[in-house]
A and B are shown apart, each in its own frame.
Chain A
Amino acid sequence: MDFSRIYDSIPYILEGIPVMFQVVLVSALLGITLGVVVATFKIVPNRLVNFIGHAYTAVFRGTPLILQLAIIHFGLPQLTGYITTPYQSAVIAFSLNSAAYISEIIRAGIQAVDKGQWEASDALGVPYVKQLRSIILPQAFKNILPALVNEMITLTKESALVSTVGVLDIMRRAQIVGGQKAIYFEPLLFAGVIYFTIVMVLTYLGQRLEKRLRKSDGR
């Protein structure tokens, strides 16, 4: 092992960090927005709408993310005639995919709120939207937030898949350096260290957040 041979390529690989965060943050925002919509589909009292929500989740959880990404990047242009850039394809695939997982997190968070909270607010005559907004969601939030942080961590790790459609993220850059210098172990190990560090930092932040939420429970 000889890391001195990739010294000059380290800045090049590090430039993949902002690229990765761009994909992850934009996908997370879009994924949460769409996830809220899909979660709402799952809980409203209408069977057809419920079905659409569940079918959406089933499709995106039931197929590999790398396949979804490939279909969107390589397959869809064949139908639409519109060619998306690697970055656009990556964001579309990751948003749609994470929305499926996030909608489950939100649905479970809402349904984990004690049934008595619905009944108590029903008995007071509180209308549905206010009930959801002022009584149920604030309590569901505590169940949702830690799981959401986990989903962000997963998204960060899985983002390495965007290298397969040519986004110049950490993973792709490490492979390019490997190809140029004909040594793979060092750049890939370096990429691994970067991912690991980022995930550890996110995990730590997530734990602190969870602790603070738990503290506020004991008010």
Chain B
Amino acid sequence: MIQVKDLYKQFGDLEVLKGITTSIEKGEVVAVIGPSGSGKSTFLRCLNMLEVPTSGTVSVAGYELTKKGANVSKARQNIGMVFQQFNLFPHMSVLDNLTYAPINVLKVSKAEAIERAKKLLERVGLSEKIDAYPSQLSGGQKQRVAIARALAMEPNVMLFDEPTSALDPEMVNEVLDVMKGLAESGMTMVVVTHEMGFAREVADRVLFLDEGILMEEGKPADLLLNPQTDRAKRFLEKVL
């Protein structure tokens, strides 16, 4: 589903990603972990070209986003993204947040978009908030709406950029539960996270990034409990 080859990203003199190669299968749930500044968010943001790689290639669903003249907007319609800071549209109701892009980008009919939105809100347990505005929602509710908004585009892949890092602790689980449900439904997911519990329980594979290098990857049980590299050992000692 996703192929990444020799991915480099530089910000000025700062090398954030130093040649990452990996591929992610359809239906796979991949957790990306690593210390802050390791480049894991940048890696994720390169997958839908929110950051343009300095060199290397990224392909999603067989389409190479990094080639010259690639239709990035079109490709993004297929790649849902969930942000740490939710980034809901504050001037739109929950319903409008969920229907805006399907109607205006995918050209889905309004009735169909509303139908989809209602189903998704039910799925994330927020049917009663359909007419609310983002400012009336708690952090956990906002993030669930943001997940529903991304799903409304019916993407093949979902990217999560530290989806629970901005939440109060008591709201983390409601969001993780939604993500778990999504994983069980067979969605291809790439999740940058600090939630080791989630990585262990839900991910099929864990990538450990440090200083822009993919240091280690493997099944959660292996990597989290029995890391091979010193760096991964040190990092996991601190967070587990």
Contacts and interface: CB of A to CB of B under 8 A. Distances in A.
A125 B101 CA distance: 8
A125 B136 contact: no
A125 B105 contact: yes
B87 interface: yes
Interface in B105-160: 105, 133, 135-136, 149-150, 153
A192 interface: no
Nearest to A130: B104
A129 to B, nearest CB: 11
A217 B85 CA distance: 18
B81 A125 contact: no
Contacts of B87: 114, 116-117, 119-120
B42 interface: no
Contacts of B149: 124
A121 B153 CA distance: 12
B63 interface: no
A29 B144 CA distance: 44
A124 B105 contact: yes
Contact of A124 (B85, B91, B135, B153): B153
B41 to A, nearest CB: 12
A126 B105 contact: yes
A81 interface: no
A158 interface: no
Nearest to B50: A119
Contact of A122 (B50, B89, B136): B50
Contacts of A45: none
B74 interface: yes
B46 to A, nearest CB: 13
B73 A117 contact: no
A135 B134 CA distance: 14
Contacts of B76: 122-125
B89 A135 contact: yes
Contacts of B79: 123
Contact of A120 (B73, B74, B83, B135): B83
Contacts, number: 63
B77 to A, nearest CB: 4
Contacts of A217: 90, 135
B57 interface: no
Contacts of A218: 135
B50 A127 contact: no
A219 interface: yes
A138 interface: yes
Contacts of A134: 100, 104
B188 interface: no
B101 A126 contact: yes
Interface in B47-84: 48, 50, 73-77, 79-81, 83
A125 B91 contact: no
Name the residue among A116, A117, A124, A217 with the largest chain B CB count within 10 angstroms: A124
A126 B104 contact: yes
B74 A125 contact: yes
A139 interface: yes
8 contacts: A120-B87, A122-B76, A123-B76, A123-B79, A126-B100, A126-B101, A138-B91, A218-B135
- 6 smallest beta-carbon distances between A and B, as pairs: A120-B87, A116-B87, A123-B81, A125-B77, A124-B101, A219-B133
